[in-house]
Amino acid sequence: MIAVELRKLFRRPRTWVTIGLLNGLPVLVAVLLALTDLAPRPGEGPVFLSAVLTNGTLYPLAALAIVLPLFLPIAVSVVAGEAVAGEAQAGTLRYLLARPAGRTRLLIAKLVAVIAFVLVTVVVVAAVGYLTGQLLFDVSPIGGTALSGTTLTSQEIAGRTLLAIGYVTVSMLGVAAFALFFSTLTDSPLGATLGALAVLIASSLLFTLDAASAFAPYLPTRYWLAFVDLFRDPVLWRDVVRGVALQGVYVVVLVGAAWANFTTKDVTS
């Protein structure tokens, strides 16, 4: 069942178009930076971006930082919102369930497929970012500088970049779980996607609001930028650990709710 869902997802042209579009922005930014040599002013713009002009090794991270706030969650919401509601809208859901695919199995397979999409997307963004960084910017042979001012070897940077890829993937799971849950509520994939994006935007807004600081630690976007902490020296694990745990709670609760709803739902699409 999982293999079926993965095949469905990755044989779909739209999946690759989405991933391609997602990579467009970081590449465009890199080209503009390389052509104009105008880095954003320090402390402004996406993190790591001002550093890449001197060292392209960090461009995979700059690329992730560029897509993290909006592009990536939109793509994840679209794919996860599509998961069940898309099958319902196309009418294929009734055939899958009459096959029988099993509602729980189907939901788990959809979840795994969405996670796979996130991982593939993040890896592709980092890989394209790596190529872009190597081609367009000067690359320091000895590695790069951590946020704390210590020098990281190329191996250390590679290792921490892999961790960052993993962390960004995990960060997207909360959004994915929201979209998946909404996807079991409605037969409209667009509705599910917009629902998840509404949660996302509300979370980003509340995060900036002091009055909402009481529940700021529980907002799904709260620890998204913590992948930056992996490039401090020593690594600051505090927010990374919390971010992973928070996303875990969101996934457990929302997938549980999605399961409870989907397994008892009348499929009338």
Partner 1 sequence: MSDDPVIQTAGLVKRYGQLRAVDGIDLDVRAGDVYGFLGANGSGKTTTVRMLLGLVLPTRGEVRLLGEPMPRAARRVLPRVGALIEGPAHYGHLSGRANLALLDAAGPGGSRRTRKARIDTVLEQVGLAGVGRKPVKAYSLGMRQRLGLGAALLRRPELLVLDEPTNGLDPQGIHEIRDLLLELHRGGTTVFLSSHLLAEVEQLCTRVGVLDRGRLVLQDQLATLTAPTGATIVQTPDPGRVRAALDGRVLRTDGDRAVVRGADPAEVNAALVAAGVPVTGLALERPTLEEVVLAAASTSADRVDAPGERSRR
Partner 2 sequence: MVGLVAVLLALPSVIGALPASDAGTPAADLRRAVLASADVPFAGYAQSAGGLDLPVGDQLTSAADLLSDRTTMRAWYRGPADWRVDVVAPTGETGVHADPGGTWTWTWERAVATRTAPSPLALPTAPDLLPSALGRRLLSEATDAELSRIGADRLAGRDALGVRLRPADTASSVSRVDVWVDDASGVPLRVQVFGADDGQAALDTGFLEFEPTTPPAEVTAFDPPPEAELREGQDAQLLQSATRAAADGHRVRLPAALAGLDRRTIEGAPRSVGLYGRGVTLLAVSPLPGRAADGLRDALVRAPGVVVDHLGVRISAGPLGLMLVDGEDGPVLLTGTVDLDALATAATDLVPAW
Residue pair 142/216 in contact by the 8 Å Cβ criterion: no
What's the maximum distance between 2 C-alpha atoms anywhere in the chain? 61
| Contact flag: residue 217 with partner 1 (CB under 8 A) | no
Give the Cα separation of 76 and 18 in Å (integer). Answer: 10
- Cα within 13 Å of Cα(86), Cβ side: 16
CA distances from 259 to 6, 31, 60, 104, 237 (A): 20, 45, 36, 7, 32
238 interacts with, out of partner 1, partner 2, none, CB within 5 to 8 A per kind: partner 2
Q: What is the CA radius of gyration of the chain?
A: 20
229 interacts with, out of partner 1, partner 2, none, CB within 5 to 8 A per kind: partner 2
| Contact flag: residue 140 with partner 2 (CB under 8 A) | yes
| Contact flag: residue 44 with partner 1 (CB under 8 A) | no
Is 38 exposed, middle or buried, given 0-12, 13-18 or 19+ CB atoms closer than 10 A? exposed
Footprint of partner 2 on 39-68 (CB under 8 A): 42-43, 46-47, 50-51, 54-55, 65
Q: For residue 42, is the peptide bond before it cis, meaning its omega torsion is within 30 degrees of 0?
A: no
| Contact flag: residue 104 with partner 1 (CB under 8 A) | no
| Contact flag: residue 111 with partner 2 (CB under 8 A) | no
- Among residues 34, 112, 194, 225, which is the contact residue for partner 2, using CB under 8 A? 225
DSSP 211-236: GGTTTGGGSTTTTGGGGGGGGSSS--
Beta-carbon contacts of 30 under 8 Å, excluding residues fewer than 6 positions away, are 52, 59, 63, 129, 132, 133, 136, 137
Quote the least distance from Cβ 100 to partner 2, whole Å.
25
55 interacts with, out of partner 2, partner 1, none, CB within 5 to 8 A per kind: partner 2
Quote the least distance from Cβ 4 to partner 2, whole Å.
28
**Among candidates 242, 245, 181, 174, which has minimal Cα distance to 204?**
174
101 vs 251, beta carbon nearer partner 2: 251
Which range touches partner 2 (CB under 8 A), out of 18-26, 67-75, 164-172, 228-236?
228-236
| Number of chain positions touching partner 1 (CB under 8 A) | 25
134 vs 148, beta carbon nearer partner 2: 148
Binding site for partner 2 (CB under 8 A): 42-43, 46-47, 50-51, 54-55, 65, 140, 142, 145, 147-151, 218, 225, 228-229, 232, 234, 236, 238, 249, 252-253, 256
Binding site for partner 1 (CB under 8 A): 1, 3-4, 7-8, 11-14, 90-92, 94-102, 264, 266-268
